[in-house]
Amino acid sequence: MTEEQLLGPRAHGGPCGSAVLKAVAEDFQVDEVLDIPLSGEGEHLWLWVEKRNLNTEEAARRIARAAGVPLRSISYAGLKDRQALTRQWFSLHLPGKADPVLDKAEDETLKILETRRHQRKLQRGAHSANGFTLRLTQLDADRGELEACLERIKAQGVPNYFGLQRFGFEGSNVHGAREYAERQELPVQRNLRSRLLSAGRSYLFNRVLAERVGNGSWRQAQVGDLLAFTDSRSFFPAGEAECLDPRLAILDLHPTGPLWGAGESPASGEVQVLEAEAVAAEPAIAKWLAEAGMKHERRILRLPIGGLSWHYPGPDILQLEFVLPTGCFATAVVRELVSLAGQTDI
């Protein structure tokens, strides 16, 4: 499957040129934003960990082995990219135990930067955002077009597509989801089941968003839409008054699209028709998701870019810094600017 089939059209007229991302781990840096004051005491040891070219699950396994505790004692807020330099929190449940020596977990790919005690474990999804520092190298782009596109993105946000990494190489996860959906079966392996269900649901969302980008309504509320605030999972219907809410203009409130599950879309009117037609091309996946017990949820269509700034460390290097809500993809920002030459899986 091609990028266009998996993601959909760009919104800002790009790309303005080409570049390389992730030539080295330091080109893609992620810092977890966690607004939880740690007390300094309790039976949970929290670790602020820096990882280089190491995925979150492997880091958890190494920490568990070094601490001499079962893997189920390790918690983290979310998964971070493997091909990157990332910093995130982990917690270890150590009731009645002293802080373990964790030297054996550390090497050039994993460093423990800070440890703190707390009364509670780290819950999945507890982080409020992720901060990104991205360095685009081998940049070949018109500087004027690039600057204009960056200003538009700063003011308007970008379509909140699920990134290519959600779908596997050349859409392999979507192909897998289709195969199971056509048989109306679920993979026995828990990790595979979770990955394919997520890919199927993400693909249907991207189809709906692609339609909204195509008709220009991805950042405009319509009567019948379901609206949500940037950091909220709840949503409410849009009537004529809600479509005039000034919080839409400041990128605090957004129209949403479906994360498919049981039941019809709670949207109404033309919005519901558009969503139903977009999903109708994949009826087996839609039915499969519903019968797998997935609940119908919503995801904002527009991705606001917090604190976006940029500079040029070299003549062919563009460095971007910004903050995104959890569950959103930094590559959605990059895609509006440049094409990533020879890179199809990030």
Catalytic residues: 81
Residue 122 is which amino acid? Answer: L
Residue 185: other Cβ atoms inside 10 A: 11
CB 25 within 8 A of CB 52: yes
Task: Please give the structure tokens belonging to residue 237.
Answer: 């219907």
Which residue(s) pair with 88 in the sheet?
A: 49
DSSP 189-214: SHHHHHHHHHHHHHHHHHHHHHHHHH
Neighbour-count burial for 121-154, b at 16+ CB within 10 Å, e otherwise? bbeeebbebbbbbbbbbebebeeeebeebbebbb
DSSP 1-54: --HHHHT---SSS---EEEEE-SSGGGEEEEEE------S-SSEEEEEEEEES-
Distance between CA atoms of residues 122 and 117, nearest Å: 11
Q: Residue 195 half-sphere exposure, CB side, CA atoms within 13 Å?
A: 17
Q: How far is CA 73 from CA 63, 250, 285, in A?
A: 10, 42, 35
Distance between CA atoms of residues 167 and 282, nearest Å: 16
